[in-house]
Copies of this chain bind each other. A is one copy, B any other.
Amino acid sequence: MISKIKPKSVEKTDLKAAIIGPSGYTGYEIIRILLKHPKVKIKLLIGNKSKGKHISEIFSSLSQIDLPKIKNLKTANFSNIDIVFSCMPSGNLDNIIHLIPKHIVVIDLSADFRIKDVKLFEKYYTKHQNPKYLKKFTYGLTEFNRNKIKSSRYIACPGCYPTSILIPIVPLIKKNIISTNDIIVDSKSGLSGAGRNTKQDLLFSENYNSFKAYGGGNHRHIPEIESCIYDQTTKKINIVFTPHIIPINRGILSTIYLKGNALQIQKALLKHYENESFIKINNLGEMPKISDVIGTNLCKIGVLQHNKKNHVIITSVIDNLLKGASGQAVQNMNLIFGFPEELGLDQHSFWP
């Protein structure tokens, strides 16, 4: 089903990239990364609402940057394009995926193609417009699906919360060293995770000085997490998951409550990820903070023995716009086209 990619010779020419939906936060982040990436040129920006505008009219920080004006999909010329990043909100790419020429690699940052079970998808999102494409997409959590991604033309990048949760727990489930009946995840995210929508509850004054839980006990990311666990381990596991909003721009910290042995867990994670550039396991008892990873494509993980016997706490941190979105998208692009995975992606946090 999955056709092999023959990456063009990157020695001779640069990759030519298009971005659909460039006017949100993940769109900006893709642009920022690609402008510094030594092997890619941005050749096409597509946005129906913003068509005809220069990108600097959308992001004042991009004044005086040499980029093409934004086109709408109908007038876009894909003939020279090698790769498309779709940064539209969920519920859009499924409408137009069939219009993108087949020779192009598509990396989607929305939820449209993450869950393969249409019924499950439609329970949490809206009616799927192109279910036959679901199987063409590979779930783009790079460290889990490296080989499949390498030979895929369609990548569904994981959600930001799932990335922060799956990376620490999947290896533990695989190795049978935690109780799978008692996984509780308390996640906290900065506001950029909610996108650049003009909603009252995203206003500055509504969030500054505050903090809240949301999601009603049944957040959309639960089925994504449980589906990925099943794909990776063939175990049907239900997790408890509550997301919260921190009044900062970027970053996710997931606190994961498990039953098991902390030292065994820390060692298992250290071993499992020892060759990964972007997954860092802290010493036992050292908990990472969000500022440790801002600006990077890293996931840092701390493991702690709780005073209550047999209870272990894991905290994992990512930059939701990087490893949780645009960074992982570029990591997948690097993988598919044969570049080093680290190319164009930072490993030292932007701080303070």
Chain A residues proximal to chain B, CB less than 8 Å = 25, 28, 31-32, 35-36, 59-65, 182, 184, 186, 188, 190-192, 196, 198-200, 202-214, 216-218, 222, 238-240, 242, 244, 246-251, 253, 255, 257, 280, 282, 285-295, 300, 302, 304-309, 311, 313, 315, 346, 348-352
Contact = CB atoms under 8 A, between A and B. Distances in A.
Contacts of A292: 60-61, 63
A277 to B, nearest CB: 11
B348 A65 contact: yes
A246 B352 contact: no
18 contacts: A32-B350, A61-B291, A62-B348, A63-B286, A64-B280, A188-B244, A192-B352, A202-B204, A202-B205, A209-B250, A209-B352, A211-B289, A213-B315, A244-B255, A247-B247, A247-B248, A250-B352, A350-B350
B249 A352 contact: yes
For this chain, the copies found in one complex come to 4
Contacts of A184: 184, 257
A186 B203 CA distance: 25
Contacts of A300: 63
Contact of A205 (B182, B191, B306): B191
Q: Quick one: which of A191, A255, A351 has the most chain B CB within 10 A?
A: A351
Nearest to A248: B209
A213 B246 contact: no
B212 A280 contact: no
Which are the 7 A-B pairs with shortest beta-carbon distances?
A212-B289, A210-B291, A61-B349, A217-B306, A186-B186, A205-B352, A218-B307
Given A186-B186, A191-B204, A352-B192, A287 B213 contact: yes
A244 B244 CA distance: 12
A210 B240 contact: no
**Residue picked from A25, A209, A292, A352, most chain B C-beta under 10 Å:** A352
